[in-house]
Structure 1
Amino acid sequence: MVDELPDSGEVDPVEAAEDEFDESYDPDTDTSGADDEESAGPPGPVNWNLLTADAAEEEWLALNEWVHWLRHTYGLPVAVCPPFWHRHPALVWELSALHIHWLCAIHPEAKGSAMLVWHRDFTEAQERLRHWTAACGTRLNTDRPTRRIAWPGEPDTDPIEDILIPNREEDFVEYMHADVQARRAEEDAFYRRLAGELE
């Protein structure tokens, strides 16, 4: 019914760029980088707006592995699960919510019907994913920024052009590193301001 899913470990970004999909990934043991102590109970929701740099890197890697497993297991088309989902916040939030929902459904404390509930919600989520994918215009080999409409009084948005991306995994790693570095820069700036206030 599904691929062989042995034990998973922390993903090396360099390996992620070389291997499109880690067939050893096991969603049953995926804890999104959490320690054993912290994973005693079902995981809570992920707020991408508030993640630290280190936490964001863990979430990116765990989500990327899980999305690969999801698309292979359920044979998802590009219209539902596009390669460059990581570039579009709407897709990141939706897939991240599905991932956490999955982890809760397979948790030992979950009810026996939890996976049925997950599959019901997954069916509904696919319609939303299809909508987000169509709205942002991402495709199999090309991507473009999600179109944003300028409201009255706002500056005009830049023209949107499709770009060809030949290697999806390399693009994911570069995008993830840029996000992590931006978060770390914000953290460093915050601590510098805090240190200045305490002087």
Structure 2
Amino acid sequence: MPMMSAAAIRDEPPGPINWNLLDAEAAEAEWRDLDRFVLWLKTAFGLSPAIVPPYWHRHDELIWELSALHLHFLACFDEIASPSAPIAWMRDFSDARHRLREWVATCGTRLDGDRPTRQSRWPGETAETRGGEVKIADRAADFEEFVRTDVLRRRRTQAIVDRQLLG
């Protein structure tokens, strides 16, 4: 499975992605780029759902880890990277697989089912209602719905900010 990256067609080298600050259009592009990378990674390295589960996109801890791994890959395999950078990526990928396994075990997502990551409530915090476990039927359809919902949320947020700034 070939891996094309949006970062590969940019004029500048990729930089860190702060998922909290992306606007709707940038988020959609980054989601699709990250999804291609994750699918390539899973296939190229034969990763089990214990490392990369189908609903990785529903868990912040997995998003941030996989995103960081993706950016590191792009930097290490760039044409101007050091010739030893790919082996550094492989070493770091080994470390990331251990962290991913821990994140997956903690959040409880599996090949056939997913639930929101459990959150510990600190004294004085109100309990947040989170959904229960869902059966995973179609990963690709869920990813599309997830991205659509995220992009719409970001557009609504930006519209609110724009209205407040423009008075």
Same fold by TM-score greater than 0.5: yes
- Residue 85 of structure 1 corresponds to 56
In structure 1, which of residues 161, 164, 168 is the aligned counterpart of residue 135 of structure 2?
Answer: 164
Q: Distance in 2 between matches of 1:159 and 1:55?
A: 27
**Where does the alignment leave 5 or more consecutive residues of structure 2 unmatched?**
none
Aligned mates of 1:48, 1:159 — CA distance in 2 = 21
Letter in 2 for 1:101: H
Q: Deviations over 1:23-65 (max 9, x none)?
A: 3x335xx234x754x23xx311111011010000000000001
Tell me, in whole angstroms, the C-alpha distance in 2 between the residues paired with 1:191 and 1:144.
35
State yes or no: 1:26 paired with 2:3: yes
**Counterpart residue type for residue 99 of structure 2:** R
**Aligned: 1:190 with 2:136:** no
1:98 aligns with 69
| Offset at residue 162 of structure 1 (A) | 1.2
- Number of equivalenced pairs: 167
Counterpart residue type for residue 64 of structure 1: D
Q: Deviations over 1:132-182 (max 9, x none)?
A: 101110011111011001111111243662111210000000001101110
Higher Rg of the two aligned structures: 1
Q: Percent identity?
A: 47
CA distance in 2, matches of 1:35, 1:188: 29
> Structure 1's 26 and 157: CA in aligned 2 closer, same or farther, altered over 3 A?
closer
Query: Which residue identity is paired with 1:187?
Result: Q
State the TM-score, normalized to the length of structure 1. 0.80
CA contact (8 A) 1:31 1:103 kept: no
